[in-house]
Structure 1
Amino acid sequence: MSEKAIFAGGCFWCTEAVFQRIKGVSLVRSGFSGGNIKNPAYKEVITERTGHAEVVEVTFDSTIISYQNLLEVFFGTHDPTTLNRQGGDKGTHYRSAIFYTSETQKELAENFIDVLTDQRVFASPIVTEVTRFENFYPAEDYHSNYFNLNREQGFCQVVINPKVNKLSTYFKEFLK
């Protein structure tokens, strides 16, 4: 059964590269969600005036990979404890967020955050927002499939590669 999940884990190039490698995921699109204008351009979003986050829209087959498993990958491959920041990337558009598409997704996300908090998986409090999904606006084409097309670039080597390697190390059972 085809479903969608929308995650904001900082730079969408990083998040896209992670979810593209998950079995049961048929499509990952980089874009924007959670803001206050329609069809924002990247150059508008990075001003922080639109309220959007950089997100990925993940289309997945829930008979192959569960939403719960996607949450595990999401929280395991970015830092959900830094407000409006991932590594050197700073700004509200780099916030950690889950935009749920159903009440079931909301419950699963909130319950998983509670479990991670109770088990003290992270040294600092989780700041990931869990917000009702309203709109997804695709990013410009040059953002699509960025890591796969630009692996030799410095940003890809230094920032994205470690996330992909972490995925390969800790989530082997979910890889294509």
Structure 2
Amino acid sequence: MKASVFLLSVLLLLSACSGTIQKKQNIASENGFAVLPKPAADEAVATFAGGCFWAMQESLIQLKGVNSAISGYAGGLTVNPNYDEVSGQQTGHAESVQVYYNPAVISYEQLLKAFFIAHNPTELNRQGPDVGPEYRSVAFYRSPQELRTISRVMSAMEREKHYQGSFVTEMEPFKVFYPAESSHQDYYERNTWDPYIRSVSKPKVMHVREEFPQLIKPEYLK
């Protein structure tokens, strides 16, 4: 009987681990930092900043058509910044997430809407308990068409009163994105026990799932 119970426990554990592995990204690392993937022929790239990148990365990787989401830094001046420098407000960068997605599956406009739901775009230089310009809201555009789409989506969501107050999201031309340390990649998934993840990050991730259930990958709904 004990052997049967032990075997059942092992099988359940393997099943749970299998689900985790299925969700986990394969992010390469070098010298302690993530390595940016080379976009595939059918991939487009988008970059967003919206508060702590732990929640934003998980909010966006769960979307159908999103193949990779890398946490990092953008919008500042320092070359190859690290977390301490960005947190110390020495670089001008914001915590950001770079998304590699298939536009045949998910559009840039859909990504934008998920981005705006994954954080509060009416909070200036903060997100909830996280205060400072490194937590500012930014939509980085790579073309005039993307700039127009950002402006249109923001205006529409303001009219629809998704939030109280006006959006303060900055619209900046994309220049460069620096990947964050490997320890910050998939942090949400690897640290579900973390009180910050449970109380601050999880509500953001779940908000996206509740608003766009049709866009969520099946394995994230289990």
State whether TM-score is above 0.5.
yes
Indicate the structure (1 or 2) with the bigger Cα radius of gyration.
Answer: 2
The structural deviation recorded for 1:68 is: 0.4
Structure-to-structure mapping, 1:15-164, within 5 angstroms: 15-164=56-205
CA RMSD of aligned residues (A): 1.0
Q: Can you give the 5+ residue segments of structure 2 that lack an aligned partner in the other structure? A: 1-41, 218-222
Greater Cα offset, 151-160 or 112-121: 112-121
Distance 2:51 2:128 in 1: 9
Q: In structure 2, what is the Cα distance between the partners aligned to 1:164 and 1:41? A: 25
Q: Distance in 1 between matches of 2:50 and 2:87?
A: 15
Distance of 2:125 and 2:76 partners within structure 1? 14
Superposed CA deviations along residues 127-163 of structure 1, whole A, max 9, x for unmatched, are 0001000000000110000001111111111111111
SS at the partner of 2:140?
Answer: strand
Structure number with the higher helix fraction is: 2
Unpaired segments of 5 or more residues in structure 1? none
Identity score, percent: 39
User: How many residues are treated as equivalent by the alignment?
Assistant: 176
1:5 aligns with 2:46: yes
Deviations 1:43-91 (A, max 9, x none): 1111112100000000000000000001111111210001000010000
**Cα displacement (A) at 1:27:** 0.3
